[in-house]
Amino acid sequence: MTNIIACIDGSALSENITTASVWAAKQIACPLTLLHSLEKEPPRTDEDLSGTIGFGSREHLLDELITLDAQRAKLALEHGKLILENAKAFALKAGAKQIELLQRHGDLVEALSDLEEETRLIVLGRLGANHAMDAHTIGSHIERVARTSHKPILISIGKFEAPKNFMIAYDGREAADNAIAKIAQSPLLLGLPCHLVMAGDDTKERRIKLEEAQNILEEEGFQVTSSIQPGKIYPILTQYRNEHNIELMVMGAYAHSKVRQFFVGSNTSKMIIESNIPLLILR
């Protein structure tokens, strides 16, 4: 059985993440797992720069570190439990049926990759607990999750409302074709009007690719509007989104290498940072 995994961190966005995951769970009709990962904070010992080691230093130091960790972990465990209980209550109210609560120690990215096999969709919020609400910054985890996980990721941005239409950013590359195939086979967005948008030059080849993609979607019963818009990817998609009141953006992610991204920047990250509607990212 595969689940929807909602990553809850107790930030102001947790309610929106829960709403988004409940919506997805209803669409796909599969169970919902609320996940809270207990991340290790950088360790702090009492400042001791005396640089001495004496009788039994190793044993004492180990004891001291263990005690510190134990205290911190107990608190975090309790705190996490509360967060999850709150989220569960909220999800029940929103109409979710099967809910499982899960706490894992360690990095969120690791927790997700451990759960990968039973994952259908990952739901994340754009800002983590350590960020201010208004900043258009990418949550510290999104990019790492998107790069390591092979499952679709729904990024909730701001207040989540069930989308009434969606657009697919299509570029004709393999990642985008995979995204089309996944959308076509999934019940998640079935029934919503689809806008298939390609940015860049309007050549014959590209038009053929676009039509192929449109056919795949239409065969599965999607109602598709497609278009090619000349210009650079990012402004075109933004403009189209605003003009057509799109409520959900679907895109393939991180097609380029890390090296290129380091110098050129990634379209995916840029889209995530600037977007004001939820994004569905497909690998």
Partner 1 sequence: MIDSIKRDWFSNIKGDSLAGTVVALALIPEAIAFSIIAGVDPKVGLYASFCIAVIISFVGGRPGMISAATGAMALLMVTLVKEHGLEYLLAASLLTGVIQIFAGYLKLGSLMRFVSRSVVTGFVNALAILIFMAQLPELTDVTWHVYAMTAAGLGIIYLFPLLPVIGKALPSPLVCIVVLTAFAMAYGLDIRTVSDMGELPDTLPIFLWPDVPLTLETLMIILPYSIGLALVGLLESMMTATIVDEFTDTTSDKNRECKGQGIANIGSSLFGGMAGCAMIGQSVINVKSGGRGRLSTFIAGFLLLIMVVFLDDLIGQIPMAALVAVMIMVSIGTFSWESIINLKKHPLSTNIVMLATVSIVVATHNLALGVFVGVLLASLFFANKIGRFMVIKSDKDENTNHRTYKVIGQVFFASSDQFNGSFDFKEAIEKVTIDLSDAHFWDITSVSALDKVVIKFRREGAEVEVVGLNEASATVVDKFGVHNNPEEVEKVMGGH
Q: Do the beta carbons of residue 232 and residue 197 sit within 8 Å?
A: no
Minimum distance from CB of 210 to partner 1 (Å)?
35
Contact pattern from residue 103 through residue 142 relative to partner 1, giving x for each residue in contact according to CB under 8 A and a dash for the rest: ----------------------------------------
Closer to partner 1 by Cβ: residue 204 or 258: 258
Minimum distance from CB of 48 to partner 1 (Å)?
5
75 binds partner 1 (CB under 8 A): no
45 binds partner 1 (CB under 8 A): yes
Minimum distance from CB of 88 to partner 1 (Å)?
29
Using CA atoms, how far apart are residues 167 and 194, in angstroms rounded to an integer? 6
Closer to partner 1 by Cβ: residue 46 or 243: 46
What number of chain residues touch partner 1 (CB under 8 A)? 26
223 binds partner 1 (CB under 8 A): no
276 binds partner 1 (CB under 8 A): no
61 binds partner 1 (CB under 8 A): yes
63 — alpha (psi -120 to 50), left (phi > 0) or beta?
A: alpha
Minimum distance from CB of 23 to partner 1 (Å)?
30
Q: Do the beta carbons of residue 11 and residue 157 sit within 8 Å?
A: no
- From edge to edge, which strands make up the β-sheet containing 249-252? 99-105, 32-38, 3-7, 119-125, 153-156, 279-282, 249-252, 166-170, 194-199, 224-229
69 binds partner 1 (CB under 8 A): yes
- Token digits of residue 82: 């509360």
The closest alpha carbon to 40, from 65, 19, 20, belongs to 65
| 190 burial via Cβ count (<10 Å: 0-12, 13-18, 19+) | middle
Mark the segment that binds partner 1 (CB under 8 A) among 8-16, 53-61, 95-103, 212-220.
53-61
270 binds partner 1 (CB under 8 A): no
57 binds partner 1 (CB under 8 A): yes
Beta strands 279-282 and 153-156 are: antiparallel
Nearest-Å Rg of the Cα atoms of the chain is: 22
Minimum distance from CB of 177 to partner 1 (Å)?
28
Residues that bind partner 1 (CB under 8 A): 40, 42-59, 61-62, 65, 69, 144, 258, 262
